[in-house]
Structures are given as structure tokens and as C-alpha cells.
Amino acid sequence: MLNPIPGTAYENNKKLTNEDMCRIVAVFRFLVPSGFIRLAGGRGLLPDKGVKCFQSGVNAAISGDMLTTSGISIEKDMGLLEQLGYKVVLWNE
């Protein structure tokens, strides 16, 4: 999700709404049912921190700070996923 930071080439791009993000996620989940749809930077800007996106089909996340923005801590993400009733599986390369 784009976070239009002042001073960058994308600073004037419109932010996507939570509804936009959920719609995008749902379409990609339909098109790629077994794929990883991952939330990362910009999720903290959503009013619900990505809850509706997880409910729309997101099945992966990158936690912690990003290169240019603050992220959501692993502890908060684990609590959020537990509240949603999801089983967390850690994936390592």
C-alpha cells in the first residue's frame, strides 16, 4: 500500500481507502487462491490497521518498521491475528 511521502515522486498520489484495499485484496484472492497476499508498509495508516484486509483474504504480513515508515510490532500483529482466530505459521527462507 502506497504511503505518499512528501518529497518523493509519489507524494501527490491519492491514498487508497480501506474499502479500496479490501476490494483489491478480494480480487487477488479470487484470482490467485493459493498465493500469499502480504500486507506491509502503509498498513498502519488504515483506521483498523489492516483487520478488514485480513478478513478480505490477506494471509501474510511483514511486521516491524519499514524503510521509510514505522510499522506495526510483531507483538501487536500476533495479538491481532489471535483475536481474528487465525493460526500463525512462521515462514523462513
pLDDT (tens, 9 = 90+) of the chain, 93 residues, equals 777 889 999 899 988 888 999 999 999 999 999 999 998 877 887 888 889 999 999 998 888 777 767 778 888 888 998 999 988 877 665
Alpha-carbon torsion 47, 63, 75, 30, what sign?
A: positive
